[in-house]
Amino acid sequence: MSKLMTRRKLITTGLGVAAGASGIAVATRLANRYGLIPPDNGGLFGIGETLTYAAQRILMSHHSLAREFNRSEISKVAPVNGDPPETETYHRFAEWTGVPLKYLLSSVGILPQARYVVLFPLDPYWESIDMADALHPQTLLAYSMNGEELPAPHGAPLRLRLPRQIGYKNVKYLSHIKVVDTVKNIGKGVGGANVEGGYSWYAGI
C-alpha cells in the first residue's frame, strides 16, 4: 500500500470514528493536522463544512475530472445565471477556451507556503480557492465561450472556469489574482463575498 493510501485510510477512518464516537473536537483536530479546515469552519455549518471539505479532498484524487462533453452535446442556449441560489446546469452546456490557471501560476512561480488563490473582479465580488483546485487541469482563465469571444454577461474579458465547484465560485470580469497563505486579512476573513453572505466557502460538485 502506498504511503498516500495509508495516510488517506488513516485520515478517513480517523475522521469517521472521531466524528461518530468521540465528537467533533477530535475530528476537527485531525482535519486541522492535515490542513483540511476550510476558511469558513467557524461559520453557520461549522463541523459540517470541515467534514465535507476533508472528505472531498481525501477520498477524491485532487485532480479527479469533471465530465467533459462533445461539441454535438453542447447546448446552443447558455442563459446568464442571475441571482443565487443557482445550479451548475448551464455550465454543463457551454464550451470554454482559456489558459489553465496552473500554467499561469507555474510561469510566475508560487512559494511553497501558498494555500489559496484569491480572485478579484472589476465589480464588488471576490472568491478564493485552494491550491488543489487552482492547479486542477480543468481550472481555466477563460476568454472564449462556444468558440466566440466571451460575452460580457458571462464575464468578459476574463473569467475563472472552475468545473469542480458551482457557479458562484466562478469569478467573472477578472481584475487581479493573489496567491496567499491565509485569507484571514481579506474582507471578513472567511474566504469570499458569498461566504460572508452565508454560502459555503467550498462548493464542490
Ligand X SMILES: Nc1nc2c(c(=O)[nH]1)N[C@H]1C(S)=C(S)[C@@H](COP(=O)(O)O)O[C@H]1N2
Give the nearer residue to ligand X in terms of CB position, either 17 or 152: 152
User: Should residue 154 be labelled a site residue for ligand X when binding is judged by CB under 6 A?
Assistant: yes
User: Should residue 172 be labelled a site residue for ligand X when binding is judged by CB under 6 A?
Assistant: yes
**Binds 46: which of ligand X, Mo ion, none (CB < 5-8 Å by kind):** none
Q: Of residues 47-106, which lie at the interface with Mo ion (CB under 5 A)?
A: 84, 86
Contacts of 99 (CB under 8 A, 6+ apart): 140, 141, 143
Give the nearer residue to ligand X in terms of CB position, either 26 or 156: 156
Contacts of 92 (CB under 8 A, 6+ apart): 67, 69
Among 84, 137, 157, 198, binds ligand X (CB under 6 A): 84
Question: Which letter, b or e, does each residue of 91-130 get, where b requires 16 or more Cβ atoms within 10 Å of its Cβ?
Answer: beebbbebebbbeebeeeeeeeebebbbbbbeeeebbbbb
**Shortest spacing between CB 190 and Mo ion, in angstroms:** 18
The whole-angstrom distance between residue 116's C-alpha and the CA centroid of its chain comes to 10
**Binds 80: which of Mo ion, ligand X, none (CB < 5-8 Å by kind):** ligand X
Q: Which stretch binds ligand X (CB under 6 A): 45-53, 65-73, 104-112, 167-175?
A: 167-175
Measured between alpha carbons, how far is 51 from 115 in angstroms, rounded to an integer? 19
**Shortest spacing between CB 179 and Mo ion, in angstroms:** 25
Which residue has cell 452546456?
Answer: 93
Measured between alpha carbons, how far is 41 from 28 in angstroms, rounded to an integer? 9
Binding interface with ligand X (CB under 6 A): 80-81, 84, 86, 90, 121, 123, 125, 154-155, 167-168, 170-173
